[in-house]
Structure 1
Amino acid sequence: MSWTKICPMNEIPVLGARVVRHGEVDIGVFRTDDDRVFALNNRCPHKGGPLSQGMVYGDKVACPLHSWKISLVDGKAEEPDVGQTACFAVKIENGDVYLQLNP
């Protein structure tokens, strides 16, 4: 696996997201209000809603379709809902965001 530069951190809005396409997969790259950055498969495990269009709060995102709360840390749905979406490793270097992606 290798690190891929995505964008400068300031291009991801605080409490928002940016979408990155990797092959057939859309990845939502999320920024919290305390400048932590997370990356998840952009599809909610419930009905496939675009998580990047949801509301970010704390370390969660609310799916815009049915308000499922998905953890940005591990991709798991908050109880009583069940399901999980894939997470991707993220690092910040010199103000730039990098994702660890499979070739």
Structure 2
Amino acid sequence: MTNSPEKIKIIDLASLPIQIGKEVVIKGESIALFRLSNEDVRSVESKCPGTNGPLAEGIVSGEYVFCPLRDWKISLITGEVQKPDDGIVKTYKTEVIDGSVYITV
């Protein structure tokens, strides 16, 4: 039996600072949530695949986050680690509805 995806309200958009990560735990999964400078909101698995670094504490630049431990560059759109490093993190569907941020898990 598989669980169907569930959309969960996380935070009010106004409470999420631009370019500062926020770590949330949903159904036992640790997720890094980001509000980008273009106002898009993205969420990815919070552990860097190469270092297990906390991505919510990473530096955001454009649509990428840099791992705070070894500076791995990770796409907040696809979850892919940029070359020359290798790996991928899980991405989550994230929506803003009526000023609130929702993640589907």
Using structure 1 for the length normalisation, give the TM-score: 0.94
Correspondence list, 1:11-90, <5 A: 11-90=15-94
Report deviation, 1:25.
1.8
Larger deviation, residues 22-31 vs 39-48: 22-31
What number of residue pairs does the alignment pair up? 101
Runs of 5+ consecutive residues of structure 2 not aligned to the other structure: none
Q: Which amino acid aligns with 2:64?
A: K
Runs of 5+ consecutive residues of structure 1 not aligned to the other structure: none
Q: Residue 13 of structure 2 corresponds to which residue in structure 1?
A: 9
Using structure 2 for the length normalisation, give the TM-score: 0.92
Q: State the identity %.
A: 32
Larger deviation, residues 37-46 vs 21-30: 21-30
CA distance in 1, matches of 2:29, 2:104: 14
SS of 2:21's partner is strand
CA distance in 2, matches of 1:66, 1:93: 35
SS of 2:34's partner is strand
Q: Return structure 1 stretches of 4+ with deviation > 3 angstroms.
A: none
For the aligned residues, what is the CA RMSD?
0.8
CA distance in 1, matches of 2:21, 2:56: 5
Query: For residues 7-65 of structure 1, what are the alpha-carbon distances to aligned partners after superposition, in whole Å with 9 as ceiling and x for unaligned?
Result: 10111110111111023321001111111110000000111100000000100000000
